[in-house]
Amino acid sequence: MMSPPSSNEFAHLVDFVTLLADPKLLSKHVKEFNLAQLSYQEAKNKYDDAVKIAATVEKAEAMKEANEAEASRLKVLDRSIQNKEESIEKVLAKKDHDFNREIARAREKFKAEQDEFNHTVTTTNTKFDIQNEDLSKRESELANELADLEKEKRLFEGKRSRVEQAYEAA
């Protein structure tokens, strides 16, 4: 068995029957319902858009945080690279300085050896010049002695020839 309807349920039933009895009122309520449904649909669309926007904002904020973290990481990496570059530049500058110092030492050593060689060549050339002078003097002396010997030979030949003539004549 069914229990009798409550006053609230009964009031709804009366409203429903009244609506069915009056077509203008029903039409008005259908229009209001359609408007309410349209309003609901617009509100739902706005809510869906708001949810999408909120999700997009959340994604954007997450991306912003990720980008900031990446920027921070890149900044640290950039500083590390800059420190390494500065360190390498210092090492290269020191190596360059050491290399230039070695070149200067090698230049000094080469110049000293070149000076020593030039001195030796000069000394040797001086000795050769002295020896050439001595040889020229000796050659001149020998030439004079040869000339004297040639002269003495001619004199001797002359005397010999006279002695032979005198011997033959005698």
Summarised one tens digit per residue, pLDDT across range 60-119 is 999 999 999 999 999 999 999 999 999 999 999 999 999 999 999 999 999 999 999 999
Summarised one tens digit per residue, pLDDT across range 123-150 is 999 999 999 999 999 999 999 999 999 9
- Please choose, from the candidates 166, 162, 144, the residue with its C-alpha nearest in 3D space to the C-alpha of residue 154: 162
Please tell me whether residue 6 adopts helix, strand or coil conformation: coil
Q: What gap in Å lies between CA 42 and CA 88, rounded to an integer?
A: 66
- Name the residue range of residue 38's domain: 13-128
User: Which residue in this structure is represented by tokens 């739902």?
Assistant: 44
Provide DSSP, 16-54: HHHHHH-HHHHHHHHHHHHHHHHHHHHHHHHHHHHHHHH
**Tokens of residue 114, six digits:** 């070149």
Query: What is the Cβ-side half-sphere exposure of residue 119, based on CA atoms within 13 angstroms?
Result: 6
The CA-to-CA distance between both ends of the chain, in Å, stands at: 210
> Is 170 part of a structural domain of the chain?
no
> Is 34 part of a structural domain of the chain?
yes
pTM here?
Answer: 0.41
Query: What total of structural domains would you count in the chain?
Result: 1
* Contact criterion met (CB below 8 Å) for 27 and 21: no
Summarised one tens digit per residue, pLDDT across range 43-69 is 999 999 999 999 999 999 999 999 999
> Is 101 part of a structural domain of the chain?
yes
